[in-house]
Structure 1
């Protein structure tokens, strides 16, 4: 798709030679920065490091996870999705013409370089994690891999990059050592759970994805089956987390995660009655409980729970 002609400005709107700063910020989508920033914070908590003493590393990592790497991934995605966005969301910066010419690509490349430079300031662990995050972002959106073309692989890459990688990175950077096995396992489980969240996020683009040939799970399975698959992806890893917390000697934390999972179960049951309509509602209710469970696990690991 990158070889197709660029989306031009809508008729009657004067062409711009460069985007306004507000449009660049819109392309980076600040609303999407929360999940990786939250995951980094959970990783920082789980590291056991004195956070007040190392506040500068926490702040630098949160900026890396959100405005930089996540913002960069949004710019990359919007550039390579500009034709499907012209169908699904024509108001976005590139298809609307407010991000003229190839400026969307320029922003993506520039922000990639800034992210790598910033990650390098966090030491070897920070740079390697940033390199992996950047690689996943480009592989997700750009040919020839374009992982998002298949919802099974694309959502997996996205979930791991948004939840697992920032968590593991924070634990490594704050402790200046390889993360513990407990951190690796729990962070990975929450990344797998985020696969379901990404599936629900695809509901808003079903028509355009179908026309362009992106095989998201709602396109492949239909909204009802895709919603059920999403629920299983979200619920099973958290159930495993509850079992692991019990095995690690953290029954109070396990009970809290179980209660949050029960709340998600109620929200899932309601969402499944009309997935296309209620998927956005679930993102404001069930996902909140999902991320609170992440932080609960961070405190369990900080308290010294282990296998």
Structure 2
């Protein structure tokens, strides 16, 4: 790029910046949760692979991508402080293009959700509303360190899990499936709290009352880990009660590994939060799939 080009404001978004806007790295949790839900339904996956694949694409690249675009648009002033190199504050997605992309992906989400039948479409509506409620004024639940991470946990883990099971069953999932999905969604509140550590300065400046801002990184890390641990202990207990002791033991062993990782996290919560996302969180989501296979056995 020449010096003249670098000084000329863009009129169209940069293609690579558009991809970064919808953050492919964030697609894994809802994709994984939808797959867990599909497994837990207890129906042959090979016979329903188009619904499984379409649901995973909807949960990840489309709905989650839309939520990321909406969040970046609504957070453009915060990102100008925290991460000025992001697509919108850096100008690589100029003007109101960030908003147009988020709105277009909202329409796409609803169109693809319609293809999954009434249960899939209903869940898509809930997911889209949750995405905008999290980021957009006047609701902007992101401002709360309790409601914001809770909503994201439900949207990223609980709702896709429920949807994956409901779409394949063409009906409401079992009580056991709903309970396990809900517990893992509640536990994800802790994961989302740790994710807030990277935005401390901008959140303070713009009035986002995340738990790291309100309570400090040390206390917030302990709360996050407690929430994750208690949710998984309840999962272990339920699996044991429902006659799945080996699955319960496997989830408990993974929780033990997380406890060891948490001890490292507590030494430097802010610095070690990204490290924990690559260790403890991986064990957390592995336990999700083990629990899904336990539910499949019950089905």
- Shorter-chain TM band: over 0.9
Q: Which of 246, 260, 267 is residue 261 of structure 2 equivalent to?
A: 267
Q: Which of 38, 49, 54 is residue 48 of structure 2 equivalent to?
A: 54
Q: CA RMSD in A?
A: 1.0
Deviation at 1:15, TM superposition (A): 1.0
SS at match of 1:90: coil
- For the pair 1:171 / 2:165, whether they are aligned, the reply is yes
Higher helix share: 2
- Map of 1:283 onto structure 2: 277
TM-superposition CA deviations, 1:167-225 (whole Å, max 9, x none): 00000001111111001100000000000000000000001100111000000100100
Deviation at 1:12, TM superposition (A): 5.1
- Map of 1:78 onto structure 2: 72
Deviation at 1:14, TM superposition (A): 1.9
Q: Which of 189, 208, 213 is residue 207 of structure 2 equivalent to?
A: 213
Find the aligned partners of 1:236 and 1:140 in 2 and give their Cα distance: 25
- Map of 1:183 onto structure 2: 177
- Map of 1:24 onto structure 2: 18
Find the aligned partners of 1:13 and 1:74 in 2 and give their Cα distance: 28
Find the aligned partners of 2:148 and 2:8 in 1 and give their Cα distance: 37
Q: Which of 129, 134, 138 is residue 144 of structure 1 equivalent to?
A: 138
Find the aligned partners of 1:243 and 1:12 in 2 and give their Cα distance: 59
Find the aligned partners of 1:37 and 1:47 in 2 and give their Cα distance: 16
Find the aligned partners of 2:7 and 2:92 in 1 and give their Cα distance: 9
- Map of 1:98 onto structure 2: 92
Q: Which of 113, 125, 129 is residue 119 of structure 1 equivalent to?
A: 113
Q: Which runs of 5+ in 1 are unaligned?
A: 1-10
Deviation at 1:142, TM superposition (A): 0.2
Deviation at 1:16, TM superposition (A): 1.1
- Map of 2:286 onto structure 1: 292
Deviation at 1:304, TM superposition (A): 1.2
Normalising to structure 2: TM-score of the pair?
Answer: 0.97
- Map of 2:226 onto structure 1: 232
Find the aligned partners of 1:96 and 1:222 in 2 and give their Cα distance: 29
Normalising to structure 1: TM-score of the pair?
Answer: 0.95
Find the aligned partners of 2:83 and 2:99 in 1 and give their Cα distance: 18
Find the aligned partners of 1:61 and 1:14 in 2 and give their Cα distance: 41
**Which 4+ stretches in 1 moved above 4 angstroms?**
none
Q: Which runs of 5+ in 2 are unaligned?
A: none
Find the aligned partners of 1:103 and 1:233 in 2 and give their Cα distance: 38
Find the aligned partners of 1:101 and 1:291 in 2 and give their Cα distance: 38
Deviation at 1:13, TM superposition (A): 3.1
